[in-house]
Amino acid sequence: MLTILLIILGGALSIAYGLWAINDVMRRDAGTQRMQEIAGAIAEGAQAYLRRQYATIAVVGVILFGVLAFLLGVWVAVGFAVGAILSAAAGFIGMNVSVRANVRTAQAATQSLGLGLDVAFKSGAVTGMLVAGLALLGVVIYYAVLTRALGFAPSSRAVIDALVALGFGASLISIFARLGGGIFTKGADVGGDLVGKVEAGIPEDDPRNPATIADNVGDNVGDCAGMAADLFETYAVTVVATMVLAAIFFAGQDILETVLLYPLAIGAACIVTSIAGTFFVKLGPNQSIMGALYKGFIASGVLSIAAIAAVTWAMFGGFSRTLTITGGTSFSTSALFMCAVVGLVVTALIVVITEYYTGTGYRPVRSIAQASVTGHGTNVIQGLAVSLEATALPTIVIVAGIVFSFKLAGLFGIAIAVTAMLALAGMVVALDAFGPVTDNAGGIAEMAGLPKEVRKSTDALDAVGNTTKAVTKGYAIGSAGLGALVLFAAYTSDLNYFIAEANRQGSTAYQYFRGVTPDFSLANPYVVVGLLFGGLIPYLFGGMGMTAVGRAAGAVVEEVRRQFREKPGIMEGTERPDYGRAVDMLTRAAIKEMIVPSLLPVLAPVVTYFVILAVAGKSQAFSAVGAMLLGVIVTGLFVAISMTSGGGAWDNAKKSFEDGFVDEAGVRHMKGSDAHKASVTGDTVGDPYKDTAGPAVNPAIKITNIIALLLLAVLAHS
Amino acid sequence: MLTILLIILGGALSIAYGLWAINDVMRRDAGTQRMQEIAGAIAEGAQAYLRRQYATIAVVGVILFGVLAFLLGVWVAVGFAVGAILSAAAGFIGMNVSVRANVRTAQAATQSLGLGLDVAFKSGAVTGMLVAGLALLGVVIYYAVLTRALGFAPSSRAVIDALVALGFGASLISIFARLGGGIFTKGADVGGDLVGKVEAGIPEDDPRNPATIADNVGDNVGDCAGMAADLFETYAVTVVATMVLAAIFFAGQDILETVLLYPLAIGAACIVTSIAGTFFVKLGPNQSIMGALYKGFIASGVLSIAAIAAVTWAMFGGFSRTLTITGGTSFSTSALFMCAVVGLVVTALIVVITEYYTGTGYRPVRSIAQASVTGHGTNVIQGLAVSLEATALPTIVIVAGIVFSFKLAGLFGIAIAVTAMLALAGMVVALDAFGPVTDNAGGIAEMAGLPKEVRKSTDALDAVGNTTKAVTKGYAIGSAGLGALVLFAAYTSDLNYFIAEANRQGSTAYQYFRGVTPDFSLANPYVVVGLLFGGLIPYLFGGMGMTAVGRAAGAVVEEVRRQFREKPGIMEGTERPDYGRAVDMLTRAAIKEMIVPSLLPVLAPVVTYFVILAVAGKSQAFSAVGAMLLGVIVTGLFVAISMTSGGGAWDNAKKSFEDGFVDEAGVRHMKGSDAHKASVTGDTVGDPYKDTAGPAVNPAIKITNIIALLLLAVLAHS
């Protein structure tokens, strides 16, 4: 119980940090009247969107709550509600801080770049710590309630099902928030650019563009709230899957609860080190923003190694204790610690690789900028080439992570590596969530007519934000790749448990599973069928996401054209555009567009199960669904990394032109040149790639896995 | 022996048809002096390229011949040479007919569309029949030599290894030809367009553009010779893999040789029906080119069902005979026949689906054209969305094909379904290979200043060619998807054979495999490692291919700029551009660029094997390589379908503007409008997608599989 209390304390620290940081941000100067007006409009739009999004999800959520309560009992349904509500809360609070920090960042940037970074980063850190803290608290407190207050055994089905349902609740918010937010933000961005920059010839964030507030709202609901929900889910699902594995691997041993709590303790320790790391983020004399962020990130990482070592030592009474999986292999606690280090190293490498592929100044982004010189077509070709190539090194790193952690401590070692990787979520999300704040700050500076230097500071922060955004997405999907085996193992272990129980002499439990013999060998055609069906999900889902952005952008174009037509004074600056209508229209469009694609990964495992059941029986249906879980990762990993890295590279290739890009022939191409225009095309293409379709693949993968686990639970109860 | 002779007769018929068709094409009027001059330059360039490409491959080939002879014996090396030489011959002859048919098509088109179609289609049919016929003859004659003249037992390792090596020979040509040809053709196309259309403002195929002959050369070396090598390989590898499976599944039974020859007999029968089908390709009164092609295709398909029924009946003495896999399941010969029908149905469905996604007039292409109205960015976004979505239906069809044929006759049933699918290769290639001829004819018409109507006819043929090109690529990759299990089964069966022999009491053979216990379960982390490494190949390979086209196009731009600078008379029409230099420069660039990417799929299985061997031992190394074979299909299928369908759709979306595209608001956008310009960007992006990176994925998949089989053979000899 002491361990549980200490873990809760770690989680609570994140809330305390959040309160302190919110207070610190809110104390800052909120700028002029005009700036506050603009920020107010953004905040209003963002809240309106999120309210409507949550209202829509709530309808689905209440139905699912009822279904789960009916099928699997009330504690499972409560777990689902806990996951959903906490995930929504993390996104909602984070976004509310973000829409207040934006204007304060703009004001701080009038004084210095360092001050702007400070406000923006602190605001991002609120979201980061809340994501990690609330996810941890949700899991640990609900676990304590189930095992202590309600008296369920730690490895009982009641606990496992309830925790899986908690992950499902987080997944539900995540898939809708990522996709809905992504469609909103990129619909506004692409649509606003098309009608503003291209048709009307006014710059980005020009106050005459009726879509400009919507664009800034989008940054908050997509990049802040959507991303928070995504990482909350990734964190919750990974921790839960690791606990499910522990419950099965160490069933009946005295050490069981210690092993169950070990991933949570790692999470708690890393919240502390992440908070400590935030204080290292300070702009050095070289004014390198990425350098400042790296300082914080490296500090967190190094401290985390020490903290995880301490946790391992304290929980297992040293590094040389041997753990033995029930009826299986053994490994030492030092091996578990090394697995955690592997997870941290994988994180570090993915950060470095993603920076290389998306940062200005390196070959990939330069090659796209260079290709812009010969036109729109070659820009896009080179961007696609970079996006394809960018998958190689992360894949090799993930594979190495799998091999090393498996050699150290088997499947459970892989689970601990992923847990350690995600334990840094607080820091990684903090690095990312300052991006939308600075993006907004730039918009406010432009609309409020602040001096050019302010815009320059916010642009510099924003360019780094593009990279850190790509990093976070790469990190989330990388953890999914490394965690694929863990989720698959949770599925097979669950399945094997039900089969063993059903086949026990005289057993009356789980009779649905009696005589089932799944075969996960690649030689089984239904495994290949599952791999292909799973592989299809990210493609079809990605295609739907891209189309949805296209449609939403089209709706924005029409709305803006209508306003320009009906209020001719807008362009002269004598009439005020109706920002609210654009936000409102886009809200409806995004919510409508997010429904069908979100259902794809939810329904896919269920449909696959019943189709194969009808064709080839239970055993093959379970085999196909299992294979589907790996199929969705195998293509999802590549689709997501290529889209997020490629999109980031396109965006920064465009930014290369802001100060003039010197091509291979030594010619300097300025903003407004043909080469710059070509780079804008690439950026537009990259927008839905990196901010809608690509990042939504991660929740799609997770939800497919969670649904498969729930399917087993439901069938077990039937 | 009678069966073998009849199969040889079927193969020989294709040669006879080829000679007749060549003669028929050559008898046609070759047009004016100027047209013949242009055609001569194209032919010269194409031959020069192909000579240099083959010379480069020959160096690699001779080394590999020596290595194979040393490691696996002379008959294996000879098999390799047979595959390589016949594949090269099919491409070489097909291309030589193509560069003569182009000018005759242009001349025929001055008379009527139907006459143009007739010449172009007949020329394409030569390539088609040679591909199917030479592949069939190569396999059957070498099989006869090995088993009859040299006296090897039909299921002996000597025969299996020699046939696998034949497939490897075909693969070697294929990977280089697809990639080298693809880089050449799209380097010329993209580069020529950039510097001609965009910079100099002259139309496509304008004789003042020094890259214009290179562009026409590219159609022949890429779309004709490259495609022929690809399909030759697909045909040869599939038939060989089916035979390997038959040799293992029916080892020691009397029926063995009949089953071994069954796929070859299907091939022979379908050559006859394909030839018959070509005579149904006649332009109807509605002037529908696609309709004319469909008539031929449907006729071939229907006749093939009857022919395969006859072959099955004759070879097995009826439909009710039961075949039993040694130590395994049983199925009837009627089930085998039904599997062949499944293969034909899959082919038909893939054709229809691909036409839907790439044909003008359907939703996907229209949606891209519509998106062009709002700019370059939205055009590319919608094209990418279509390319992602286009993978869904083919995947479902392939999965259904796997399930149905597996239920009918197990793994061997799947092999027969793929065999039947590829047995139509003659017809499918014929449908495709007329595309480059009409493309060339259009170029010649433009350069020789023929009347506009001629260009209109060749453009109409060309638009259909875009669809049939996408169809052929979808068909080739679809067969790879369906055949994935067959190739994997060939690998595992081979591996199990070696392990069983090595472990036999007192055995001294294959001692390398003693005690090896591969585990292909998805729960094995090394299987996931293999899936991810395999999945990476199409991405990295695709990225390299796209980059190579970008570089080659850049080289063309510089060469053309240099000529414009040094010969100012070119643009006034007083000086003749140096077409030869552009061709020569591009030849060198393409050959240089094709080497490294081609080595990726060749080396990947070998490197994976030895890395995992070092880390985790033999058993896991074999598991990882096996999983790699499926990983490369799982992502390769999606990458290839999305690239080829997306590229085709972009191309035809551009063509929608040639006669004016009416958008949703009722506005008509003509050629030269902003919307048309945006569609040109999409077309440029689609070029390397559909003609370089996408189609080269298929040989990359095949060669990975073949290398894995050869690796087993080499290790068995060590």
Find residue B330's DSSP bridge partners: B324
**How large is the average pLDDT for residues A171-176?**
92
A contact test, residue of B366, B634, B654 with most A CBs within 10 A = B634
Quote the pLDDT of residue B499.
94
Q: What is the pLDDT of residue A199?
A: 76
Closest by Cβ to A635, choosing from B634, B685, B688: B634
- How far apart CA B471 and CA B326 sit, in angstroms, is 38
Q: What is the spatial distance between Cα B330 and Cα B412, in angstroms, rounded to a whole number?
A: 11
Shortest distance between the Cα of A70 and any Cα of chain B, in A, equals: 32
Strand A322-324 to A330-332 pairing: antiparallel
Q: CA A520, CA A499: separation in Å to the nearest integer?
A: 15
> Which of B 129-158 lie inside 8 A of A, CB atoms?
none
Which range scores top for mean pLDDT: A372-376, A574-578, A705-709? Answer: A705-709
SS3 A97: helix
- CB contact under 8 Å between B399 and A529, yes or no, is yes
Sort out which chain B residues have CB atoms less than 8 A from A675's CB and list them.
none
3-state DSSP helix/strand/coil % of chain A, to nearest 5: 85, 0, 15
Of A559, A710, A651, nearest to A360 by C-alpha is A651
| H or E stretch at A668 | strand A668-669
Pairwise CA distance, residues B105 & B118, whole Å: 8
A531 touches chain B (CB under 8 A): yes
Q: Find residues 541-580 of chain A whose CB sits inside 8 Å of chain B.
A: 542-544, 546-547, 549-550, 553-554, 557
**Residue A271 pLDDT exceeds 90:** yes
Q: Please answer yes or no on whether B536 and A406 come within 8 Å at the CB atom.
A: no
Contact B377 A684 (CB under 8 A): yes
Three-class HEC string of B537-563 = HHHHHHHHHHHHHHHHHHHHHHHHHHH
Q: Is the dihedral of CA B695, B447, B434, B100 positive or negative?
A: negative
Cβ pair A281, A121 in contact under 8 A: yes
pLDDT score at A457: 85
Contact B630 A528 (CB under 8 A): yes
Asked whether the beta carbons of residue B395 and residue A532 sit closer than 8 angstroms, the reply is yes
Q: How many residues does chain B have?
A: 718
Chain B residues with CB under 8 Å of A550 CB are 371, 378, 381-382, 385
**pLDDT for residue A503:** 92
CA distance A440 to chain B (A): 23
Q: Which residues pair with B668 in a beta bridge?
A: B662
The minimal CB distance from B532 to the residues A540, A549, A634 is found for: A634
Tell me the torsion sign for CA atoms A308, A312, A318, A321: negative
pLDDT on residue A20: 96
Predicted confidence at residue A650, as pLDDT, reads 95
For A4-62, the pLDDT digits (tens) are 999 999 999 999 999 999 999 999 998 899 999 899 999 989 998 999 999 999 999 99
Chain B residues whose CB is inside 8 A of the A683 CB are: 377
First to last CA, chain A: 35
Phi, psi (5° rounding) for residue A513?
A: -95, 0
Q: Is A412 exposed, middle or buried (0-12, 13-18, 19+ CB in 10 A)?
A: buried
Q: What band does A187 get if pLDDT is binned at 50, 70 and 90?
A: very high
Residue B85's Cβ-side half-sphere holds a number of Cα atoms within 13 Å equal to 11
Q: Residue A402: its pLDDT value, please?
A: 95
Q: Which residues from B are below 8 Å from A640, CB to CB?
A: none
- Which residues in chain A have Cβ-Cβ distances shorter than 8 Å to B392? 536, 539-540, 543
**What pLDDT, on the 0 to 100 scale, is given for residue A467?**
81
Average pLDDT (A272-293) is 91
Q: Do B399 and A532 touch (CB under 8 A)?
A: yes
pLDDT at residue A181 in the model: 92
Cα angle, residue A350 at apex, residues B642 and A662 outer, rounded to 5°: 75
Cβ B635–A634 below 8 Å, yes or no?
A: yes
Q: Looking at the complex, report in whole angstroms how far the Cα of residue A390 sits from the nearest Cα belonging to chain B.
A: 8
User: Which value, to the nearest 10 degrees, does the dihedral of the CA atoms of residues B325, B331, B336, B337 take?
Assistant: 150
Handedness of CA A263, A267, A273, A278 (dihedral sign): positive
Q: Are A532 and B398 spatial neighbours (Cβ–Cβ below 8 Å)?
A: yes
pLDDT of residue A660: 87
The helix-helix angle for B289-316 and B452-503 (nearest 10°) equals 30
Question: Among residues A330, A322, A363, A622, which one has the least CA distance to residue A491?
Answer: A622
Q: Do B395 and A489 touch (CB under 8 A)?
A: no
Of A522, A684, A693, the CB nearest to B488: A522
Asked whether the beta carbons of A554 and A547 are under 8 A apart, the reply is no
SS3 A287: coil
Contact A523 B407 (CB under 8 A): no
The H or E element containing residue A378 is helix A376-389
Averaged pLDDT for residues A79-92: 94
Amino acid at B639: V
CB contact at 8 A, A391 and A316: no
Cα A184–Cα A134–Cα A228 angle in degrees, nearest 5: 20
Q: State the amino acid at position A707 in one-letter form.
A: I
* DSSP label of B149: I
DSSP at B329: -
Start-to-end CA span in chain B (Å): 35
**A485 phi, psi to nearest 5 deg:** -65, -30
Q: Which chain B residues are within 8 Å of A411, Cβ to Cβ? A: 525
- DSSP structural state of residue B197: I
> DSSP code of A512?
G
Q: Give pLDDT < 50 ranges for chain B.
A: none
Q: How far apart are CA A382 and CA A706, in angstroms?
A: 37
Please state the φ and ψ torsions of residue B322, each to the nearest 5 degrees: -100, 130
Assess B627–A contact: CB distance below 8 Å, yes or no.
yes
CA A589 to chain B, closest CA, distance in angstroms equals 18
**Contacts of range B613-616, beta carbons closer than 8 Å, 24 or more positions apart:** B615/A403, B615/A407, B616/A403, B616/A407, B616/B526
CA of B483, closest CA in chain A: separation in Å? 11
The answer on pLDDT for A132 being more than 80 is yes
Local confidence band at A603 (pLDDT 50, 70, 90 cut-offs): very high
Average pLDDT of span A677-702: 92
- Are B110 and B30 in contact by the 8 Å Cβ rule? The answer is no
Cβ proximity of B525 and A403 under 8 Å: yes
Flag whether pLDDT at A343 surpasses 80. yes
Lookup: tokens for B686: 């689609």
Q: Angle at Cα B267 formed by Cα B266 and Cα B268, nearest 5°?
A: 90
Q: Which residue has the higher pLDDT, A509 or A309?
A: A309
The pTM for the full model equals 0.94
- Provide the angle, in degrees to the nearest 10, between the axes of the packed helices B425-447 and B74-111: 50
Any A CB within 8 A of B684 CB: yes
Sole residue written with tokens 């693809």: B182
- The whole-number pLDDT of residue B123 equals 93
- Pick the residue from chain A with its C-alpha nearest to B531: A634
Q: Express each pLDDT in A398-440 by its tens digit.
A: 999 999 999 999 999 999 999 999 999 999 999 888 888 988 9
Q: Which helix (H) or strand (E) holds B322?
A: strand B322-324
Rounded to the nearest 5 degrees, what angle is found at the Cα of B399, between the Cα atoms of B359 and A624? 140
Measured between alpha carbons, how far is B296 from B536 in angstroms, rounded to an integer? 39
Contact residues, A window 351-390, toward B, CB-based 8 Å cutoff:
367, 371, 374-378, 380-382, 384-390
Burial of B517 (0-12, 13-18, 19+ CB in 10 A): exposed
B 412-441 residues inside an 8 A Cβ radius of A:
414
